[in-house]
Amino acid sequence: MAEKLALVGIGKIARDQHIPAIAGNPDWQLEAAVSRHAGVDGIDHFQTIDELLEKRPDITTVSLAIPPQPRFEYAAKALKAGKHVMLEKPPGQSLAECYALEALAREHGVTLFATWHSRYADSVPALKAFLAERTLKRLKITWKEDVRRWHPGQEWIWEPGGMGVFDPGINALSILTEVLPYPVHLTGATLEFPENRATPIAAGLTFADPVGAEMSADFDWRQEGPQTWDIDVETDRGAAKLSLGGEKLEIDGEPVIQGANHEYANLYVRMADLVKSGTSDVDLSPMIHVCDAFSLGRRVITDPFEF
């Protein structure tokens, strides 16, 4: 029997990704939406999470597709009500919030899934297998996109807790922490802040690799035209390039995998498995790198940004 699910936040990411992924998975039945401004045809609509929890106690799972700033309150209420909770990335606006939610899920015996959709791109497992059998020499992340295209008019990303360019950049870091056979840590960062914004529009990161590989990341939200979501690696036995955010993989210049956009469909498969097994998945390693970047980063003021 399909689990009854409520989707909180009916914005661009919900309509583009969450709703089609839920509709295509027989383990889920979308029963309700929570949003102050929008609904979904054919299902119950509520203005607040409190109204949802009061009027639809039969719903077992809540998926949160809202900005990180209000997410803790919504998630905490759902967990305390005995609901399984799925968190859009990043899982919160601080690490402390995420640890608190993890503890609440344990206390109430429910599933908490901190999702990293880019980890579920088609070519990520193959890159992980490639690196597991080789010694890494160099890794370079280039993650550049147009914020006006992907976040039109969304002011929350420029407010504290919104993370700025790390909203997409954390996707790259989620792949990095998935494919490497060992952990790495940040050694330095340069963060470019528009003079009128509270979060960065660009960032350059460097990492310490335990085997001595050169490792860096370049994030930028000002790229027009073709968008760039690449990870290039060199090893002792060949090179690989992950592109299109994880859909495509080349090894030594030859295409190996040309996937499609299955990330959110795979997330809901994973969530169903977690609920069935009574377990949680709360890996915060990508967010640790972001927090370290804000801690270690040298702040540079750049031109103001307006939508």
* Catalytic annotation, residues: 89
Q: Calculate the CA dihedral of residues 33, 39, 43, 45 and round it to 10 degrees.
A: 60
Q: How many residues does the chain have?
A: 307
238: nearest Cα among 251, 256, 223: 251
**DSSP string spanning the chain?**
-PEEEEEE--SHHIIIIIHHHHHT-TTEEEEEEE-SS---TTSEEESSHHHHHHH-TT--EEEE-S-STTHHHHHHHHHHTT-EEEEPSSS-SSHHHHHHHHHHHHHHT--EEE--GGGGSTTHHHHHHHHHTS-EEEEEEEEE-BHHHHSTT-GGGGSTTS-TTHHHHHHHHHHHHHHSSS--EEEEEEEEEETT-SS-SEEEEEEE-TT--EEEEEEESB--SS-EEEEEEEETTEEEEEEGGGTEEEETTEEEEE--S-HHHHHHHHHHHHHHHT--B---HHHHHHHHHHHHPEEEEE-----
Compute the C-alpha angle 64/194/232, nearest 5°: 70
Bridge partners, 254 (sequence order): 251
The DSSP element (H or E) to which 13 belongs, if any, is helix 12-13
